[in-house]
Amino acid sequence: MPTATPVTLKGNGVVLEPLLWSHHASLASIGLDPELWQWTPSAVRTPEEMAGYVRSALQEQAEGRSLPFVTVEAASGQVVGCTRYMNIDLANRRLEIGSTWVAPRWQRTAINTEAKLLMLRHAFETLGCLRVELKTDSLNQKSREAILRLGAIQEGIFRNHMVTASGRIRHTVWFSIIDSEWPGVLARLEQKLASRQ
């Protein structure tokens, strides 16, 4: 498996750029809506907490565990969210796509669908992954349905998996897409994007 190094992934409507410290202000300007963090283990409510979020992502990148991106609307150049490869395991040719959020104004657009296509394509076709994982809070029905619509398979629920910022004990639902399923997932995502044009 090639080394997972920072890379820019370009689509028609979205560009995924490597996260830099200089993105902090843009992320803080669009990413402090409490609804964005309802289902995440930690909340980001202030510019200072967003700074901590960016620092943590960049530290994980330095340790080789994550590859964080900012999500950019191609037409405007506006930063609209964040996502990352995480829990990167090069020896076993697997990684997770997670820590994904899109600011409310750009939700229910093609941006997240195309971002997932770009990330999955790079994972399977460039990095040579055998498996890509996706996870979400068991209570986050919207996210669970969205992951299933990608073509991912639900594998199970890790009970009492995390303690959230509010103190709630989170059960986490695990999904995956494996390399043999990628052609079908790709066709589904391309069809979804074509139907939005």
What is the mean pLDDT for each group of 10 consecutive residues in the chain (197 residues)? 84 97 97 91 93 96 96 97 96 96 92 96 97 97 93 97 90 98 96 84
Q: How many domains does the chain have?
A: 1
Residue by residue, DSSP assigns 8-75 as -EE-SSEEEEE--GGGHHHHHHHS--GGGGTTSSS---SHHHHHHHHHHHHHHHHTTS-EEEEEEETT
Residue 104 in any domain: the answer is: yes
The DSSP 8-state label assigned to residue 104 in this structure reads: G
Residue 150 per-residue DSSP state: H
Residue 112 lies in a domain: yes
Give the Cα separation of 91 and 163 in Å (integer).
Answer: 29
pLDDT score for 62: 94
In angstroms, rounded to a whole number, what is the distance separating the alpha carbons of residues 36 and 76?
Answer: 22
Does residue 159 lie within any of the structural domains? Answer: yes
Does 172 map to a domain? yes
Q: What is the CATH number of the domain that holds 67?
A: 3.40.630.30
pLDDT at 197: 59
Assess if residue 2 is contained within a domain: no
Determine the pLDDT at residue 2: 63
Domain contains 177: yes
Residue 3 is assigned to a structural domain of this protein: no
Q: Is 187 inside any structural domain?
A: yes
What residue numbers bound the domain in which 80 lies?
9-195
